[in-house]
């Protein structure tokens, strides 16, 4: 295996894991932060996306009901949709 050449030591950033940011970019971020307030769209501690609930298809229920009625030897009466 090859060995990598040692890198020159750079000045440590202000925060651990942070990169140096130009003054123009920092000014734009501050301007956006002032405009948007305290909202945050990601990162640690934010709410997760809610799961989208897909509604079940009830078209298959009628088929299953007809199959059960056929097994029992019953016939559906055409024109009647509901019985009280």
The pLDDT tens digits of the residues spanning 23-80 come to 999 999 899 888 877 666 677 777 777 888 887 776 677 788 888 888 998 877 778 7
Residue 73: count other Cβ atoms within 10 Å of its Cβ.
6
- pTM, full prediction: 0.26
User: Tokens standing for 41?
Assistant: 């769209």
Query: What per-residue confidence (pLDDT) applies to 55?
Result: 78
Query: What per-residue confidence (pLDDT) applies to 27?
Result: 93
């Amino acid at each position: 295996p090859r060995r990598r050449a040692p890198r020159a030591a750079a000045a440590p950033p202000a925060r651990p894991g942070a990169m140096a940011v130009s003054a123009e970019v920092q000014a734009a971020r501050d301007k956006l932060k002032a405009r948007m307030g305290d909202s945050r769209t990601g990162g640690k501690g934010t709410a997760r996306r809610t799961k989208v609930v897909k509604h079940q298809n009830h078209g298959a229920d009628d088929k299953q009901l007809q199959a059960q009625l056929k097994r029992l030897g019953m016939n559906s009466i055409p024109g009647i949709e509901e019985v009280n």
